[in-house]
Structure 1
Amino acid sequence: MNNFLKKLYAKLNTRFGFFTLVLFVFWIKTYLVYITKFNLGIASTYQMVLAFINPLPFALLILGIALYFKGKKSYWLLLVLDFICSLWMFANILYYREFSDFLSLGIIKTSGTVSNNLGLSISEILHGTDFLVFVDVIVFALLLIFKLIKVDYSPVKYRVPAVITVLSVVLFGLNLTAAEKDRSQLLTRTFDNNYIVKYLGLNFYAGYNAYQTHKQNETRAHASSSDMDKVLKFINKNRTEDNIQYFGKAKGKNVFIFHLESFQQFLIDYKVDGKEVTPNINSFYHNQNTLSFDNFFNQVGQGKTSDAETMLENSLYGLPSGSVTSTYGTDNTFQALPAMLSQRGYTTASFHGDVGSFWNRNNTYKSWGYQYFFDKEFYKDKADYSVGYGLKDKIFLKQAAQYIEQLPQPFYAKIITVTNHYPYQIDKQNQDFPKTTTGDNTVDGYVQTAHYLDQAFGEFISYLKKTGLYDNSMIVMYGDHYGISNNHKKAIAQLLGKDKVTDYDLVNFQKVPFMIHMNGLQGGINHTYGGEIDVMPTLLDLMGIKNTDTIQFGQDLLATNRRQVVAFRNGDFTSPQYTKVGSTVYNNKGEKVTDKLNKKEKSIIDQDQEYVTSSLDLSDKVITGDLLRFYTPSNFKNVNKQDITYNYTKSMAQLKQAQKDKKSSLLYKNNDKSTVDLYSTDAPELK
């Protein structure tokens, strides 16, 4: 035994021996992270073996670079490379825990647009065990510093690192071939980053994503007007007809878009200890003049809230990587709803209690045609006024009233709430609702901030009723994306009263509310399947705006001839008949039917999949190629961003002038007497 240990120690004191040790530990470490920190959906022994093998090829390639050097340089370069790869792993652990996805080059490039207030989120996401990914680097460094591992100064035999490099390429080729057998067209048809990591590894994903980003830039540079032909063909083939019963019902009305941050459909009518979490929203949902959709899904990707806004006001999907608003919002041509309405006499404004640079809104909103953007600069802020990602909703909404009353009517106003945002914390003075008791710290506070949001909404609606705006407005509410990610399966099961949840359950758990309210509107619960991509054409129908030549990938939710297939950003989909998650198909009872489908049913699934894939792919091409610069629908003028400013002084001067010119604002009609005093809130900070 002693003889064996001596031989082993002698091997470790060679350059190749030390490399092998570092490589082996890094390999095992990566695999352990896969199975303990990520939810890759490993469903078979075959996939388990692939997940175990896939860290090796790129570890050989990257760490093998150190073997081309001699002496101390080789050893320390090896550890530097190990540290860089470990840091990438660490960053992905944190990002994945919150967003159920992996970091991309697009997210990293635009991190400055979403970085404020992340300190609190990271502190909540961080687990002590996450730092274990650095332990091997530290131990190896100490072994070298204290010379427990001696440096091998022998000359470099270049055939060894060359063989390592070739071996890494060969192993990756075998890995890819094996992956393709289990998941055909892995790199050409999948939209889910979990598949890439599960089959090919985290490091490959990083390189693949960088390549995709480069390809997107190339696509834009080489795009031409002829690229619009396929887009127009697809759009026109799937365009729906206006619903005569609803067309124009909201013509000339004010429009409020109430953006419910991280709000999921299950909260509607949900109770904790016998108390309704959202009594005001519940009442609104069930109102006889509210059209409520109970099969409405969030369809966001990595851009989360920014994706929701992109779909809501452009009927274009978010990207498979990064954020449309952060990457393309400044320079791309858009034909967004705010621009359409401002060209038809509406005043368009967005209200947000955080900084304007968040998700690059201060630039994107100009591209979308918003005339006003009332960001954090427009509101009073004190030490206890904000939490997490901006002003608390009650304080924000009350202060927003001073600008709402100045908007010339009709107006289009989007109100973005933020308090019900991860990590779902609210100070004690605003806690008047019990937490859930799942034992998951991320989940249990969710109902508290949702209840606070509901109270803020109730106060806002009360103000609208007191001022008369309620009777002259169409009020639209929607949840932008999930609040509880699919990583919290045990907690989700408890919330839903189930022993465990399936992938089918998780798809339906990601439903978000969508409601349209207006006095005189024939309301009720609408069961049609749809998502955020469908909001814009639906609103155009209600507002009486013909939608015969626009580039929109959604369909009017009120149309009778619409196709009820909801595309998710990863390429999965759901419909009234089937839900497809990866390669598994469920019926509408939640039963797996993948191997029970007849020829006709398989044809339906294939057609739906082709529709989803084409829709996502063509939308991506519109965005990455900036194709709307080559096409302008009738009765639309491209936005001149130079005419728009969100500077406080200039915006207020412009608003004052607009009130004089149009003489239709609430303030003007109230003989310049402010209505802000009519806004009642129980916010303790304002007492």
Structure 2
Amino acid sequence: MLSGLKVFWIFSLIMIVKSYLAWTAVFDGIPPLSPILKEVPFVWITFCLVEYFASKRKMLYYLIVNLLLTGLFFAVIIYHKYYGVIVTYHALQQVNQVTAVSNSVFSLLAPYYLLIFLDIVVIGIYLIYRLRVRKRLGIRAQAPRRTNRALVSAVIVLSLALCLVNTWPNRASMNEIRKAEAMGILNYEAYTLLSSKKENLVDSNQITQDTIDKLKGVSGLENPVYFGKAKGKNLIIIQMESLQNFLINLKIDGQEITPNLNKLASESLYFPNFYQMVGQGNTSDAEFVVNTSFYIPPNEAATQNYPDKQLPSLPKLLQANNYDTATFHTNIVEFWNRGELYKALGWNRYYDQEFYGTDNTVFFGPVDEVLYKKTLPELQKMDAADQPFYAQVISMTAHHPFTIPHELDKIQLPERYQDTMVGDYIRSQNYADWALGQFIQELKDTGIWDNSVIMLYGDHQGLPKYSLTNAEMDLMEEIYGHPYGNLDMINIPLIVSVPGVEPQVIDHVGGEVDILPTAANLLGVSLDNQIHFGEDILNQSYNLLPERYYLPSGSFLNNKALFVPGVWYSDGEETPLAKDSAAQALTSEDEYERALKLLQLSDSYVKQLPDRTDK
């Protein structure tokens, strides 16, 4: 049997190798000694505790600790591949969603990632084999060697000191990726767990619309353009799954990818500089932001944080103005706790998989063609009533990992796109566009179209840059004409069709938080008594959009650039929206501070709302 010190050093070497594997997958430009200096002290603390407290079966306990730390590294790698952030204990609340999105998880799982568990399998087999041999031969276990507790205590003290040196100076960094890199992954995980504290909430009485508007840098207008232009009209909001803006007017080898969206954009108000504002809840977060004009919470999905609150919302606002309201989604309503969110938002009713059935299911529910076919009669019933209606229709077929059956294909892509995530994404979006085209035509044929404002947008990005291989990144560069970056990734389209309004391309920057006030302006509905963090993007010339989750905290957009902080504000990076913009001075530290303050006010306001009484 290996001596205690040999076991200690062998497992230390194993964890060093795994640390480098994790860092290579998550961080860029790794300093040669950083994984050793930042991860090993934490590892040694856990191993020293084994030495200190385990008098028997030390090898087994080393293996268990190894498994736990390896599992954490593995979770960090896989989570980063999709979200681009470092997973923390907060994500445990979403473990029940993993089985539902197993296709997405497995698509990110490159086979060689599993090699991180190879040593555990080998050592486990060795221990089982050794135990059986000793039992068969009647060999008794050797008396354990006595641990030099003074030496172990010294190593623990030294390791704790190194962990504090790595952690304490970097705790104020806003950028979670940079913070984890500066602290070390294991230290960062421990820090997020141990430093959890009650948030410093701003008194809700101090949160006024005037305060919000001043932070955003906007002011109210006496005679806003388009106000009441669609008064009394229906509102149909179509939320397209994973729709990114680069698809609009995209041709690949002469083939239009989204011909129906292209036509719609050319005949409507089209906002090409529009951006996602979702977090861990993705689609459900988009539903929350669009219907409340609040920002997503700092941790977990909005459906996990806010469903017990009496949320001011677009459905409630329009109901107060004599509108009927309903939301349509082919998934089960329990997914992402939507049932409770819908109650909090105040929808009159919802339609989910119980209504749509389970035929022609892809991923989580029936395909978009079924969604639109079965939704149309319900919209006709609502349109025939004596009151206007607000309906949100949520598509889903073009969902990650985009591997829809080939019998749904409406396009043949070139060979270079075959069997790639980019290619699968494009063909799934091409199908979603085809199904949408059928729906648009049916809305026109039934007369609903001419009596409705249609707002269509993508719920969130579809191609996280962290998930793409080098070859797939090359395909994205071919499409964009430049390397695929953060700004491209979070850019989604907004298309607004308003009866009697001439088509126009509007370059003003907007985000999902702006849809509620923009819709209210078009419908002639007052927001004087409703707090909102978005703005009417038909009437403002400036916008300040805080971003969260998919980008580090402190990231924001203005009308000139995307800003992403580094360890501090001063080493942050700007990405110009316009290709010919100046290289620097497109954003300011004042905007950075105001963006953070807006997030704090939104968090504070929602958390202090009264609890629902219909739970």
Same fold by TM-score greater than 0.5: yes
Q: CA deviation at 1:592?
A: 10
Q: Determine the C-alpha separation between the residues in 1 that align with 2:161 and 2:573.
A: 31
Tell me which moved more, 248-257 or 230-239. 230-239
Tell me which residue corresponds to 1:286.
266
What's the Cα RMSD here?
2.9
Tell me which residue corresponds to 1:158.
149
**Count of residues in correspondence between the two structures:** 589
2:614 partner amino acid: K
Tell me which residue corresponds to 2:494.
514
Tell me which residue corresponds to 2:569.
none
Q: Determine the C-alpha separation between the residues in 1 that align with 2:118 and 2:439.
A: 52
Give runs of aligned pairs for residues 420-499 of structure 1, distance below 5 A: 420-435=398-413, 437-438=416-417, 441-487=420-466, 488=468, 490=470, 491-497=472-478
Q: Determine the C-alpha separation between the residues in 2 that align with 1:447 and 1:193.
A: 31
Tell me which residue corresponds to 1:318.
296
Relative to structure 1, the CA distance from residue 259 to residue 18 in structure 2 (aligned partners, 3 Å threshold; closer, same or farther) is same
Tell me which residue corresponds to 1:253.
233
- Cα deviation code 1:275-321 (max 9, x no counterpart): 1111011100010xx11101111122222222222211111111332
Q: CA deviation at 1:124?
A: 2.2
**Are residues 1:574 and 2:557 paired?**
yes
Tell me which residue corresponds to 2:162.
171
**Are residues 1:197 and 2:180 paired?**
yes
Q: CA deviation at 1:152?
A: 6.8
Match of 2:390 among 412, 419, 425: 412
Tell me which residue corresponds to 1:554.
534
Tell me which residue corresponds to 2:517.
537
Helix, strand or coil for the counterpart of 2:588? helix
Verify the 8 A CA contact 1:270 1:278 in the aligned structure 2. Answer: yes
**Are residues 1:102 and 2:86 paired?**
yes
Tell me which residue corresponds to 2:592.
609
Which stretches of structure 1, 4 residues or longer, exceed 6 Å deviation after superposition? 148-152, 591-594
**Are residues 1:91 and 2:75 paired?**
yes
Q: Which runs of 5+ in 1 are unaligned?
A: 1-11, 181-185, 630-637, 643-687
Q: CA deviation at 1:75?
A: 2.3
Verify the 8 A CA contact 1:269 1:277 in the aligned structure 2. Answer: yes
1:511 partner amino acid: N
Tell me which residue corresponds to 2:39.
55
Tell me which residue corresponds to 1:394.
369
Give runs of aligned pairs for residues 22-171 of structure 1, distance below 5 A: 22-35=11-24, 37-38=25-26, 40-42=27-29, 45=31, 49-112=33-96, 114-146=97-129, 153-171=144-162
Tell me which moved more, 317-326 or 249-258. 317-326
1:308 partner amino acid: A
Relative to structure 1, the CA distance from residue 561 to residue 586 in structure 2 (aligned partners, 3 Å threshold; closer, same or farther) is closer
Q: CA deviation at 1:468?
A: 0.9
Verify the 8 A CA contact 2:357 2:366 in the aligned structure 1. Answer: no
Q: CA deviation at 1:342?
A: 1.7
Helix, strand or coil for the counterpart of 2:430? helix
Relative to structure 1, the CA distance from residue 232 to residue 574 in structure 2 (aligned partners, 3 Å threshold; closer, same or farther) is closer
Verify the 8 A CA contact 1:260 1:416 in the aligned structure 2. Answer: yes
Q: Determine the C-alpha separation between the residues in 1 that align with 2:361 and 2:333.
A: 15
Tell me which residue corresponds to 1:350.
327
Tell me which residue corresponds to 2:137.
none
Helix, strand or coil for the counterpart of 1:301? coil
Q: Determine the C-alpha separation between the residues in 2 that align with 1:548 and 1:41.
A: 47
Verify the 8 A CA contact 1:368 1:639 in the aligned structure 2. Answer: no
TM-score (norm 1): 0.79
Verify the 8 A CA contact 1:257 1:414 in the aligned structure 2. Answer: yes
Verify the 8 A CA contact 1:69 1:156 in the aligned structure 2. Answer: no
Verify the 8 A CA contact 1:101 1:193 in the aligned structure 2. Answer: yes
Match of 2:608 among 621, 627, 633: 627
1:86 partner amino acid: T
Q: Determine the C-alpha separation between the residues in 2 that align with 1:458 and 1:617.
A: 41
- Cα deviation code 1:22-53 (max 9, x no counterpart): 02211221222220x22x244x74xx643553
Q: Determine the C-alpha separation between the residues in 2 that align with 1:550 and 1:151.
A: 74
Q: Determine the C-alpha separation between the residues in 1 that align with 2:153 and 2:377.
A: 69
Relative to structure 1, the CA distance from residue 227 to residue 518 in structure 2 (aligned partners, 3 Å threshold; closer, same or farther) is closer
Helix, strand or coil for the counterpart of 2:325? strand
Helix, strand or coil for the counterpart of 2:491? coil
Helix, strand or coil for the counterpart of 1:299? coil
1:346 partner amino acid: Y
Q: Determine the C-alpha separation between the residues in 2 that align with 1:263 and 1:107.
A: 25
Helix, strand or coil for the counterpart of 1:294? strand
Q: Determine the C-alpha separation between the residues in 2 that align with 1:175 and 1:292.
A: 48
Q: CA deviation at 1:474?
A: 0.4
Q: Determine the C-alpha separation between the residues in 1 that align with 2:35 and 2:479.
A: 30
1:269 partner amino acid: N
Verify the 8 A CA contact 1:480 1:512 in the aligned structure 2. Answer: yes
Helix, strand or coil for the counterpart of 1:484? coil
Relative to structure 1, the CA distance from residue 592 to residue 526 in structure 2 (aligned partners, 3 Å threshold; closer, same or farther) is closer
Q: Determine the C-alpha separation between the residues in 2 that align with 1:619 and 1:94.
A: 30
TM-score (norm 2): 0.88
Helix, strand or coil for the counterpart of 2:7? helix
- Cα deviation code 1:133-192 (max 9, x no counterpart): 111222333444455999771223332332232222211122236xx5xxxxx43351x4
**Are residues 1:585 and 2:574 paired?**
yes
- Cα deviation code 1:257-292 (max 9, x no counterpart): 1011000000001112311111011100010xx111
Relative to structure 1, the CA distance from residue 501 to residue 198 in structure 2 (aligned partners, 3 Å threshold; closer, same or farther) is farther
Q: CA deviation at 1:496?
A: 3.8
Q: Determine the C-alpha separation between the residues in 1 that align with 2:151 and 2:418.
A: 52
Q: CA deviation at 1:617?
A: 2.6
Verify the 8 A CA contact 1:106 1:327 in the aligned structure 2. Answer: no
2:179 partner amino acid: I
Tell me which residue corresponds to 1:226.
203
Match of 2:347 among 370, 378, 390: 370
Q: CA deviation at 1:205?
A: 3.3
Helix, strand or coil for the counterpart of 1:302? coil
Q: Determine the C-alpha separation between the residues in 2 that align with 1:567 and 1:71.
A: 51
Q: Determine the C-alpha separation between the residues in 2 that align with 1:267 and 1:121.
A: 21
Give runs of aligned pairs for residues 591-602 of structure 1, distance below 5 A: 601=585
Verify the 8 A CA contact 2:292 2:314 in the aligned structure 1. Answer: yes
Q: Which runs of 5+ in 2 are unaligned?
A: 135-140, 566-571
Identical pairs, percent = 27
Q: Determine the C-alpha separation between the residues in 1 that align with 2:220 and 2:564.
A: 30
Verify the 8 A CA contact 1:14 1:152 in the aligned structure 2. Answer: no
Tell me which moved more, 50-59 or 77-86. 50-59
Match of 2:336 among 354, 359, 370: 359
Relative to structure 1, the CA distance from residue 19 to residue 572 in structure 2 (aligned partners, 3 Å threshold; closer, same or farther) is same
Q: Determine the C-alpha separation between the residues in 1 that align with 2:319 and 2:110.
A: 48
